[in-house]
Structure 1
Amino acid sequence: MRSLPPSLDAQVVAEIDRRLRAVEDDHQVRIPWAIESGSRAWGFPSPDSDYDCRFLFVRRRDHYVTLWPRRDVIETPLDKVFDVNGWDLAKTVRLIAKGNATAIEWLRSPIIYTGDPVFRDALVALTDQIAERSAIGRHYLHVCIRQRTGMVTLKRFFYALRPAAALRWLEVHPTSTVPPMDLPTLLEEGDVDADTRAAADELIALKSRTRELGTQSPPSILERFVARELDHAEHFESMPPTGDQARNRALADEFFRSQLA
C-alpha cells in the first residue's frame, strides 16, 4: 500500500524508502506501516517543511520474551530535511489504549510510504473498540494548551489551531471518538462558520508559499476560535472512562500477539 502526492520530492522519498529498508535489515524488524506526519499530513506545509516519516515496527516474538527488552523506538539521523523514526508495535498499542491520539492519527495519514492494509485495518478496528473519547479529548486539549504558552508565532499557532479544530470536531460529533488528521477536513466537518474557515484557509495559503511566517500575531478571529474551543472542551478534564479497562487490555493483548511471528 502506497499513497504519495506528486508534491513530495522524489529524491527525498527515495531516501526515506532506503532508510526504512535499512531499519528492517539492521534491526531485524518488520515495518507494516510507514507514513508522513507533521505539517505535510496535517494540511499546512511550508516550502521548507521537513519530512516527518513515522513508522511502526514489529520485532520477532523471541525479542519480546526477555529480561532485557530492546528500545521501543528506532531513530535515524535527524537533519533539516529528514525526521524519520518509529515506534515498536507494543508501545503503539499501549498508547492507543491510553488515548494517545498521535498513534491513532498515524493510521489515518493521507501520505503513506509503505503499508499493509490488513494490518492497518485490524489496528484501526482495535482502536475503534478500545479508544476512549474522554482520553482523546484530553489529548487534544492539553496539546492546544501547551502550544499557547510562551510567545506564539504564526507558525506555532498552527499547532494550537489544529487541536482546537479537533476539539470542535468532537463537539459536533458527540458519538464519535477519533477526529480526522488534517486541518482542512477538521474545519470542513466541524461546522465552523464561514468567516473562521476563510481566515484559516488564507493563513494556510500564506504558509504554503512563505518560508518564514514571522512573529506577528495570528488573526484575531482564529485566536477567538481557539480560545472558545478550549473553554468548551474543559469538560474532558473530568470526563470518566466509559469502557471496560480489563476488556480493552485483553483485546489489545490479543491483537499484539496476532502480529508476532
Structure 2
Amino acid sequence: MYDHILDVIKQTEIDYDIKILYACESGSRAWGFPSKDSDYDVRFIYIHRKDWYLSIDQERDVIEIPMRDKVSIPVDDLMDMSGWELTKALKLFRKFNPPLLEWLHSNIVYYESFSTAEQMRNFGEKIFSPTSCLYHYLNMAKGNFREYLQGDAVRIKKYFYVLRPVLAARWIKKYQSIPPIDFHELFEDAALPLDLHEEITTLLKRKIAGEELNAEPRIDVINSFLQNEIEELEAYAKNLDYESVDPTEQLNDLFRSTLEEVWG
C-alpha cells in the first residue's frame, strides 16, 4: 500500500500541476489502533505554480481523492486522500489548528520534500497555544460524548472518539505542549486507575481485532471517567488566558520562500 500511496502522490502532482510538500497518515493508523479494514487516511500539503497565486479569482484550495477529485490511475478503495493548498494550511496554522499540528507530527510519513514541513514543525513549537488547542480537544470530546455515548448501547469505536481528545487535553494541561498523536502514549501517560485501564485496554484490543462496529451495553466506568474529565477540563479552561501571538509576517515569509525553493 505504501508504494501505491506514493504512486498516487506522484500522479496527483502531474495531473494537477502542483508540488506536494508533505503527506502523512492522519487516522486510526496514525493513532495506533487500526482495525483490519481501516482506511488509509492520507493528508497532504501542496503548492501551486507562482501564476496560480497571481489570479484575481480565488481558486479551490483543497484536493480530495477520490471523493471529489480524480487522478489518471486507479485508486485503492481503502485510500482516502485529502490535501490543503499551502496558503490555506498556513492560515489554519496561524490559528494553531490541532488537526494540522497532528499531521505535521504524524508518526507515519509517506512523503516529504523541500524544507516547508520541517520549518512549520519548528515554528509550531515556538508559537504553540495551549489554550487554543486545549479548547479544540475539549469541544471535540464534549460533542462526541453527547452524540455517541448517551444511549444504552454504544459502538466500540465511538469510545475512542471521546477518549483520545480527553487524553490529549489532559496532556496539554499537564505539559503545556503539543500532545503526541499516538493513543498508546497518551493512554499510558494518563496513569488511570487499574479497573479503568483494564476496561480501555480490552476495548482497544477488540477494536484492533475488528469488533469496532459492535453495539454493546454502555460501559459505565468509562462514561463516568469521561464525564468527570470533561467537567474538570472545562473548569480548568475557564481560568486560562488566551495568548495573543500574530505570526502572520513569519508565515508570509515562509510561503514566499517556499515558492522560490520549489519553483525557483
- For Structure 1 versus Structure 2, the TM-score category normalised by the shorter chain is 0.7 to 0.9
* TM-score normalised according to structure 2 size: 0.85
Q: Deviations over 1:169-201 (max 9, x none)?
A: 11221xx23111121111223343444333222
- The residue matched to 1:208 in structure 2 has which SS? helix
TM-score normalised according to structure 1 size: 0.86
Contact 1:157–1:218 (8 Å) recurs in 2: no
Contact 2:87–2:255 (Cα < 8 Å) also in 1: yes
User: Is 90-99 or 161-170 further displaced after alignment?
Assistant: 90-99
Native 8 Å contact 2:19 2:47 kept in 1: yes
Closer, same or farther: CA 157–74 of 1 in aligned 2, 3 Å:
same
Q: Percent same amino acid among aligned pairs?
A: 31
Task: Please list the CA deviations of residues 109-151 of structure 1 after superposition, one character each: whole Å capped at 9, or x if unmatched.
Answer: 1111111384332111121222321110111011111212234
CA pair 58-49 structure 1, distance change in 2 beyond 3 A: same
1:15 aligns with 2:4: yes
User: What is the match of residue 147 of structure 1?
Assistant: 144
Structure 2 residue aligned with 1:186: 186
Q: Which of 102, 111, 115 does residue 114 from structure 1 map onto? A: 111
Q: Structure 2 stretches of 5 or more lacking a match?
A: 68-75, 150-154
Q: Secondary structure at the match of 1:114?
A: strand
Given that 1:46 and 1:209 are in contact with CA atoms closer than 8 Å, whether structure 2 keeps it comes out as yes
Q: Which residue of 2 aligns with 1:227?
A: 227
Q: Which 5+ residue runs of structure 1 have no aligned equivalent?
A: 1-11
Count, aligned residues: 246
Q: Matched residues in 1 for 2:207 and 2:26: separation?
A: 17
Q: Secondary structure at the match of 2:216?
A: coil
The residue number in structure 2 matching 1:242 is 243
- Equivalent runs, 1:113-132 vs 2, <5 Å: 113-116=110-113, 118-132=115-129
Residue 156 of structure 2 contacts residue 212 of structure 2 at CA under 8 Å; is this kept in 1? Answer: no
CA RMSD of aligned residues (A): 2.0
Structure with higher Rg: it is 2
Distance 2:252 2:141 in 1: 31
Task: Please state whether the residue corresponding to 1:149 is helix, strand or coil.
Answer: helix
- Residue in 2 aligned with 1:51? 40
In the alignment, what sits opposite 2:255? 256
